[in-house]
Amino acid sequence: MDDGLRFATDLYQGTAGYYDRYRRPYPEAMIGWLTERAVLSGDGRLLDLACGTGQLTFPLRRSFSEVWSVDREPGMVDAVRAKAAATAAGSVRAIAADAETLDAEPGHFELAVIGNAFHRPDHQVLSDAGFEQAERQEFTAEHRWSLRELAGYVRSTSVLPDSVLGDQGTAFDADLAASLGPLADCGTFAQSESSACELARKPFTG
């Protein structure tokens, strides 16, 4: 990764509640495809890097004996920890750390996943680490957004979280409704969502 590329440590500070409620879940078909194509043993460890509030951790956890959910934002990690406690998911270990400084032995994990944060490292990072691109599958789904969901989604981003909107949050919501409301179809907005799952493996050298 370019030594000049740096991301602020507090980009998502205060967004965990909005992130958990308003970010769209990954398609069930994608979760199924990944668990099948990764050829999991059922008793390995999963590493969920940049885990957010556990959008991959919780759908995948039943295929592993232990899950390390890692995010550099403490608020996200706290949300994962709370969800794990609420669902008796004792196999989930929530860790606040940078991916670059995470302490784990080689071969410690059966599968490592990175969700929507995968645009941060690129394929060159995988290649430098000895991984080869194996498979790629695309998935589509339909969703209808309400104005409330759109406003919540905006607050889940690093661009316009509550900390940036401040006391202008109510005015922002009113402007959003005034601008988009007339374009709504029965109060909602249709979106065709497109997702892709890319699977990379290290060549077997045994």
The structural domains of the chain, ordered by start, are 16-141+196-201 (3.40.50.150)
Please report the pLDDT score of residue 1 as a whole number: 44
Q: Is the model's pTM score more than 0.75?
A: yes
* CA distance linking residue 97 with residue 113, whole number of Å: 16
Over residues 131-175, the pLDDT tens digits come to: 998 899 999 999 999 999 999 999 999 999 999 999 999 999 999
State the amino acid at position 55 in one-letter form.
Q
pLDDT at 5 over 70: no
CA angle 200, 205, 206 (to 5 degrees): 130
The phi and psi torsions of 170 (rounded to 5 degrees) equal -65, -40
Grade residue 119 by pLDDT with cuts at 50, 70 and 90. low
